[in-house]
Amino acid sequence: MSTQTSSSKRRLLLASDNCDKSRELEKILQSVGEVETVSTSELPESPADFSGVVVDINLRSAESVQRVRNKLRQEGYRAMPRLFVLADALHHGSMQAWALGATDTISRPFDAAGILQRIRAAFPDSQGFDASDRGKLLNRGVAAAHEVMVKIFNKLPAGEPLKFSDIVAAENKILKAIKHSSLREWLTAIGCHHTDSYRHCLYVTGFAVAFAQHLGMHEDDQRRLTRAALLHDVGKAFIPVAILDKPGALTEQEITVIRRHPRLGYEALAAQGSFPPEMLDVVLHHHEFLDGTGYPNGLQGDRISDIVRLTTIVDVYSALVEQRPHRLPFTHAKAFAMMEQMKGKFDQHLLQAFRPVTLGAY
């Protein structure tokens, strides 16, 4: 098919199952890089010289999806950013795109300026961030997240107010830090934190942000998930540290005390007055399971909202891969396999979509 060159060093692979239909997109993409348009059956084995792949296929066609899935699973495509084109602005096909590992999505009708901006952000060219910029952004993100932890765990129980705006103020820095470094670097930076509860919340935040960015969530949704992760265990601020950090198995009575944290957190945030219902929902329900075996309310299926389902997955996963006083961390592969075996508890579609994020954490 066709290859067009522009002055940029960025090379993009455009996978299409209808090249006539993709022509408009091809033209738009040519203003940010060299574009090679290929049919889904002609995707190269080794895409090494491309900085990313744009997938413009009918996401409702099992045949097209299968062809692209088989190719994108191959080693050479694994770390490559993938931009998926959705049929319309109603996000039809977005679940399929996420399941195929989309890093971002765009939709018809095309907004050329918006697309170019997202291409520049998603697909690096030779003028990317250098290591010291990335290091600075990472440090700023970690510091902002740490400040939120101090407010939650030290100031809130001492009677100082926690405002929704305190959380919002940290979001930008955290999102930027993880976007421009990597989940692995984030986890390394916070892994040495000596307070278990801080470290856990910062792990959950790292996985949540990486998951949101991996799914190609829109900016607003990335922010909602960042907030949810930062806040989810706010109730632990009211549980004695001797129980939280106990270096051995907990007694039944201690388990009962720990299990109060969702409700204590909910009550504390509700009393602050400025937190939206969605955040209260996450704080109260992040230990509920789809099969009704969770706590505090034993909620089932549809009664558990999407943002809670997502938070639950990253929360349980983080807890498994963290170092705890009474056990060594599980490996990423083992932790994921354990969650797959907890049948009926998690949203399976979301859990499977989370797998590539866990691979990025090694």
Binding site for Fe ion (CB under 5 A): 233, 315
Bin 298: left if φ > 0, else alpha if -120 < ψ < 50, else beta: left
- Pick the closer one to Fe ion by CB: 36 or 315: 315
| Closer of 96 and 358 to Fe ion (Cβ) | 358
212, 350 in Cβ contact below 8 A?
no
Beta carbon nearer to Fe ion, 67 or 285: 285
User: How far is the C-alpha of 354 from the C-alpha of 347, rounded, in Å?
Assistant: 11
* CB neighbour burial string for 287-309, b if at least 16 within 10 angstroms, e if fewer: bbbbeeebeeeebeeeebeebbb
Residue located via tokens 């986890």: 187
Reduce the DSSP state of residue 243 to 3 states and report it: helix
Q: Smallest gap, in angstroms, from Cβ of residue 295 to Fe ion?
A: 10
Cβ atoms of 118 and 10 within 8 Å: the answer is no
Contacts of 343 (CB under 8 A, 6+ apart): none
Q: What are phi and psi of 357, to 5 degrees?
A: -65, -40
